[in-house]
Structure formats: C-alpha cells, structure tokens
Amino acid sequence: MSLPDYRDPPLVEVAIGCSFAPLDAFKLPHVGEYWACIKEEYPACEQRAPIGEAPRISDSLPFPFPRIWFVGEDETQVVQLQNGGFFCNWRKRTEQDDYPRYPALIEKYWKTFTGFRDFAEREQLGRVNIKECELMYNNHIFYDELIDTPAKIGDLFPDFGWMSREDRFLVAPEPQLCRLHFDLPEDSGILRVELRHGKRQSDERPLFVLQLTARGLGEAEDDKDIRQWYDTSHEWIVRAFSDLTSEKAQKDLWQRIERE
C-alpha cells in the first residue's frame, strides 16, 4: 500500500542521523581533514555548541568537543558532526525550495555517513559503533488559511480539539504544547509527536509547529538492519502525520494526492 503524499507538504526540515560511541583518537585536526573530503559539496563551515554530553577535546584541554556544521552552497543541505554524533539535515530556506523526498535524502545520508565511517577507519580513529538512530520531520503549519483562531485546533488536529458544550464553564484554551509518545514495532524505539503554537520570525505569521521524531534501534552491526529501521520510521512518521491531521487540512492546505 502506497504512503500518503502531498503536492505541497508543510515540511521545513528533515534530519537523519545517529549517535555513536565517542572515538578516543578523534581530535579537532581530524575535523579539518574530514572537511577536505566533502568541501566541494559543502563549502561553508560553522561551529555550534555540542548536543548532549560531548567528550572533552583532550585530557589537557577539558573543553567539550564542538559540533561542526558543513553547509552546502544553497544552504539547504547541512552535515552535522561531533564526536559522538552524525546528522544530515535538509532545510527549507526559501519558498522555492522543494522537499527532495525521502528516497533522495536517505541515499544522500547513507552515502555521507558511510563516507565518514570509512574516513574514521582510514585515519585509525576507531570503529563508528552506532548507539541510536534518529529521523526527524519538522512541519510549519500556517493555519490562518483554514481557521481564524488557534483555539479551533480541532479542525486541524482532531485529537487535540476542545469539546465545547453549552454547560461548560471553561472556554476553549489557547494551545501551548502537546506531546505524545508511540512505540515503534518490535521494540525498535519510539515515535515522539510534539505540537506547539508559535509565529514565523520573518513576519510573525501564526503557525503550528508539528515535529515527529523517531529514535531507537540501539546497537546494530548490520547495515541492512539500520537502513530498514530508517525506512520503517519514515513510514510511521508519514502515516502518523496523516492520522493526526484532518482530511480537510490535507486536501485544502497540502493538496493530498489521491492514488487508486
């Protein structure tokens, strides 16, 4: 059965990555050496604070190992690297940036990740042992085309709607933050759904941010199992988006494609 699809999905970011056991031999000069391997495709470089508990640079330099961004020329593609984490991100930077679709993104990630893994082995930095995989889809949903107030959230997300009755004392609340967790099949991880209300920075246009994140798998030796985990998680994220949003929103806002 084919997955739900949309001509104009509200996606603004997709992140595919993993955490791995920190490599004891990985030092800052190796970051530059790795950048040289991908610099033609990712010509810009940025330094960010690490995610989680990053290892120290060395015993004599007790500062956390930074997180490095390697940014593509059009700034939609980003490789994130820190000692213990590797991610590839697609970001929507302009209205003209079309979502490349999952098959293209997972192939790009896998090629880039295995390239880093080969680099680590070639430079004798140690084996990249995956501890956890992650797939994240971030959606910006501009609801003003469908509803006039966030209190009518139920017209977009039926499960979060407020049950109005004439005898109720409380009126519909302003939605702030909702979180849901679902178990992935075969104890392979969790799917976290986070929905919050916000505004776009450029023009303060109101929106809902719907983020769906799959995490799990654990330590895996077989690349085939890892690839299968990403594919299964992608299916769950796509079907969860369809399951959580209203049919009217899917048709009117994102132009759901009906397949026979």
Tens digits of per-residue pLDDT, 193-215? 999 988 888 888 999 999 999 99
- Please state, in angstroms and rounded to a whole number, the distance separating the CA atoms of residues 189 and 69: 27
CB atoms within 10 A of CB 244: 17
Both 242 and 115 in one domain: the answer is no
240 in Cβ contact with 212 (< 8 Å): yes
Listed residues 68, 100, 128: the one ending a domain = 128
Both 235 and 144 in one domain: the answer is yes
Both 134 and 252 in one domain: the answer is yes
89 in Cβ contact with 15 (< 8 Å): yes
Both 95 and 136 in one domain: the answer is no
Number of structural domains (the chain) is 2
pLDDT, one tens digit per residue, over 67-112 is: 999 999 999 999 999 999 999 999 999 989 999 999 999 999 999 9
Listed residues 128, 152, 178: the one ending a domain = 128
Average pLDDT, the chain: 90
DSSP-derived letter for residue 256 is B
For residue 133, pLDDT over 70 is answered with yes
Q: In terms of residue numbers, what domain contains 233?
A: 1-16+130-260
Both 82 and 143 in one domain: the answer is no
DSSP-derived letter for residue 156 is T
The beta-carbon contacts of 114-119 under 8 Å, at least 24 apart in sequence, are 114/223, 115/37, 115/38, 116/34, 116/81, 116/86, 119/33, 119/34, 119/37
Say which residue, 27 or 190, is predicted with more confidence.
190
Both 141 and 249 in one domain: the answer is yes
